[in-house]
Structure 1
């Protein structure tokens, strides 16, 4: 395990990021920790918490996942994907909004669901699972509004200025949606062990997480046809995250959470994206090697 941690730290350094990681063997409890209890801003990774809350509410009969919601274009949260960039009115079920929220990280879909579920319910769901350091503070629209406000008159262009980045509330775990890598792997393990809800609802959540379209972070570390990766990304200026579960054909199941920060404010940093997959692969290899040697 020490060798795996050494290689993970070297990979983070080579990619120019500060990395926090936790990897957990879902079935044996073996784990690997690199700053796993440090608070981190979750960004869109927090949509996983919303997904769990949504399904817990459905399981309790407090909402129906087939309930349809109007999605007027003039009231949608901004974002680069899904409903957030569509131009026409739409009417979608809660479960289809959840698909967009997870598969393409649609901010508009997420906030429509939050409007139905509520932040307090999201926090109650994580509290019930013992995730006391995981907290939803604001909607995704509100988080984006803090970016705009904190950037000041320079607008989006100011987000390349280190002094501006330093004051962004969205990057401060004390003032934004937050968790720790260890709590995120605990949440994933609860979904995969059917402990985050009923077996039917946990299976539905696993299905959505497996439909995420982004291959450039966690999945990039496991380019094998017989290894299955399901996860959720999160991105903000200087922040690249992903949490997910890696499943091997021999039955091994590993929850991995990787949260990174870089001093480089560029939107395109392929090495910073790829190191999430590299670090995850090193962590899972370390866990598997330990199991093989008894």
Structure 2
């Protein structure tokens, strides 16, 4: 008996260690299996083909944005375009509309289309705003809008070279027509010269590049520019290309309010519009209404806190001007005028200036609020 008891060994730590090792290995194995399963199930959960139990669903803090299926979470979503204004008429400035009517009545043989809209509050004035009249070079503004839409969509590059061909060579304003056929111009130069010096060949290059006249007219229609149509290559001295004052104002407003183009596209549009060298109609008339000298309208307006980004048109039988007006208090307005009359009749341009001058009283800045101390 003594011999048997002495031969038994103490239990020691062997068994507990083996049990602990088994538990660790089982835990690692279960972790690997569970992780692999969740990884495989992840796409199905995102598609909502598979729903996890509530204890596996991640908890989201109340102030933490929830990420949707396809869009990234936005901590501070951008405000709506209402903060930038909209192309929306709310309150007619009847006194200004009647003033325009009286000015036009002095020359009844002239056909007039006029429109102004304060983007921030919807005040507006109008005179035959939807009458389709010869667009002249004013149609280059909506053409610029469509071209930059193509850039936004990735179908056109700002530096893409456009090749001069016999088809697109246009007479009149500009210098590109004097270059040899086959000359290549980057798109940014073509777009800029179309506005800066109203180059007709540059305009035709862009018309061709965006798909031609039929495609361009369809794009105008989709933008709500129902009176704006390109029926001939520029310079179109017979006036077959048409537009209206409302269309011209709308084309500019859609960009500035963010309803058309990206932020980068809007910047390109504004930069190009700011290069126009002709400023005697809308800018000159506004300056006249503000009581300024007629030396250099752009510089004189800038001193008063105003800026006008405009594009004119002139084919002798029709004159036009349309632009964005920035006021000293930060508000903005769009205005457009188209007048058809006898060839090279100075009454047409003078009427545009007088109508622009009549806008000055309603486009004065609001007094700055008193400074908080």
- Which TM-score tier does this pair reach, normalised by the shorter chain? 0.7 to 0.9
Alpha-carbon separation, structure 2, partners of 1:5 and 1:18: 16
Give secondary structure in 2 for the equivalent of 1:222: helix
Tell me the secondary structure at the aligned position of residue 280 of structure 2. coil
Could you tell me which residue of structure 1 aligns to residue 264 of structure 2? Answer: 200
Q: Give the distance between the partners of 1:218 and 1:233, measured in 2 at CA.
A: 8
* Structure of larger gyration radius: 2
Root-mean-square deviation (Å): 2.6
Q: Which has the higher strand share?
A: 1
More helix by share: 1
1:234 to 313, 320, 332: 313
> Residue 125 and residue 196 in structure 1: after superposition, are their counterparts in 2 closer, same or farther (change >3 A)?
farther
Give the 5 Å matches for 1:261-276.
261-263=340-342, 265=343, 267=344, 269=346, 271-276=347-352
- TM-score of the pair, normalised by structure 2: 0.62
By relative contact order (CA 8 Å, sep 6+), the higher-ranking structure is: 1
Local SS of the residue matching 2:116: strand
What CA deviation, in whole Å up to 9, does each residue of 1:222-273 have, x standing for no partner? 332221011111122321111111111101211101011223x2x372x532
Unaligned stretches of 5+ residues in structure 1: 148-169, 171-175
1:142-181 to structure 2, matched below 5 A, reads: 143-144=236-237, 147=238, 170=239, 176-181=240-245
Secondary structure of 2:339's aligned partner: strand
Which deviates further from its counterpart, 50-59 or 123-132?
123-132
* DSSP 3-state at the match of 2:117: strand
CA drift of 1:276 comes to: 1.6
C-alpha offsets along residues 134-170 of structure 1, whole Å, 9 cap, x if unaligned?
22223226x34xx4xxxxxxxxxxxxxxxxxxxxxx2
* Structure 1 counterpart of 2:354, from 265, 275, 278: 278
Match of 2:283 in 1: 219
* 1:186 correspondence with 2:250: yes
User: Quick check: 2:133–2:340 contact (8 Å CA) kept in 1?
Assistant: no
Structure 2 counterpart SS, 1:257: strand
Question: What is the distance in 1 between the residues matched to 2:326 and 2:110?
Answer: 26
Which residue matches 1:154? none
Q: Give unpaired runs (5+ residues) of structure 2.
A: 1-92, 288-300, 368-373
Give CA deviations for 1:96-123 in whole Å, capped at 9, x if unaligned: 1010101111101111111211223322
Match of 2:337, SS state, is strand
Q: What's the CA shift for 1:127?
A: 2.4
Counterpart contact for 2:162–2:184, Cα < 8 Å: yes
Whether contact under 8 Å (2:103, 2:351) holds in the other structure is yes
Length, aligned pairs only: 257
Show the counterpart of 2:297: none
Q: What are the residue-to-residue correspondences of 1:25-36 with 2, within 5 Å? A: 25-36=118-129
Which residue matches 2:184? 91
User: Tell me, what secondary structure is at the counterpart of 2:163?
Assistant: strand
Give the TM-score of the pair, scaled to structure 1: 0.78
